[in-house]
Amino acid sequence: MSKKRWQVFPGKNRFFCGGRIIMAKQINVFFVTLVLLLGVCVLFFVFDCEYLSEKVHWLVPVIAGVLLAFTLLFLFRTSFSDPGILPRATGDEALFNDRGADNNVDLTQSSANFRNPPRTKDVQVNGETVKLKYCFTCKIFRPPRASHCSMCDNCIERFDHHCPWVGNCVGKRNYRYFYLMIVTITILCIYVLAFSIAHIVMLSREKENTLITAMSETPASVIEALIAFFAVWSVLGLAGFHSYLAGTNQTTNEEIKGSWAQRHGEVVRNPYTTNNCCGNFTKILCGPSYTSLLRLREDKNKEKRDMEEVKKKIEKLMFEQQNNSNNQSPKYREIWNSGYSGSLDELAAS
């Protein structure tokens, strides 16, 4: 029985649900995130919400539930999706990149006659020169803003960083969900912290006890407040940092490397920014959803079978053309030599 693409995928990833869910190899920290998030919220709902809904407002647990639901939605969307992995080159593509980047090079020559092509290429993006770097693992020239993640062993489009807390890379296809997750989890931490403290203070005033006595009556509120207090500083700083990145249309990788920083007194302009904070936020958060390039649930031999079918179709067309004109058609010969990869209907129509 033929295997699916996800079953023979060369990167360091884990797959679940028949290839529908993709995560990094190391996912232990992801479960720590999940346990902390759900644990604190369960304590809040069980030990605080009943009292607060009676003494403050019935919307207190409702709002907490909505925030938790959105946080989990964005967390799972970030963790379980393809972040923008670039497929590795096939054998022929790797040979072309390694030995035949120049169209004038004959790939049939001995390797001793070849000189390795340059491992970088310069391209223009909105008037700025951007270097494309060659990946020796994936055998491709990475597109602009892409980088190879050593943890997952994949090249990721618009690579931001590898996040162990979500158990996945953050890139082109899941960055918006990552950003929305850290914003909602920041709001949730502040919300739980505020109402946990409110519960303790209201108990102390209601029974005219000291804060210590009130804390002893509701120790769960103390645990929630402590966890939320220490968590809020990290997630709040992270939310602020990524708000800055989104507003300037940068990635964590670019910011750390100083890709658009001033060099030798020369200002390097970010070619991806709209020069408008709202425009950058709109582009990142409201832009189009990108399709995965991996086709993980397809048969791994499907492409090979399709190419063999195309080859037979071309050979048949060339044979018919030769019989009609007693001269082999250069048109179909040219199509075949160029490595035709379109559909059979398009080929027949041509």
Which DSSP symbol is given to 350? Answer: -
Single out the residue of 76, 99, 94 nearest to residue 23, CA to CA.
76
Q: Which amino acid is it at 12?
A: K
Give dist(CA 195, CA 202) in Å, integer: 10
Catalytic residue at 163? yes
Residue 130 has which token pair?
A: 């951007």
Looking at the DSSP assignment, which residues form a beta bridge with residue 341?
Answer: none
Is the Cβ–Cβ distance between 17 and 297 less than 8 Å?
no
Question: What are the counts of helices (DSSP H) followed by strands (DSSP E) for the chain?
Answer: 12, 9
Give dist(CA 17, CA 125) in Å, integer: 39
Give dist(CA 171, CA 262) in Å, integer: 25
Q: Which of 163, 189, 277, 278 is catalytic?
A: 163
Q: Strand, coil or helix: what is 102? A: coil
Looking at the DSSP assignment, which residues form a beta bridge with residue 162?
Answer: 169
Which DSSP symbol is given to 288? Answer: P
Give dist(CA 235, CA 76) in Å, integer: 17
Q: How many CA atoms lie within 13 A of 291 on its CB side?
A: 3
Which active-site residues does the annotation give? 163
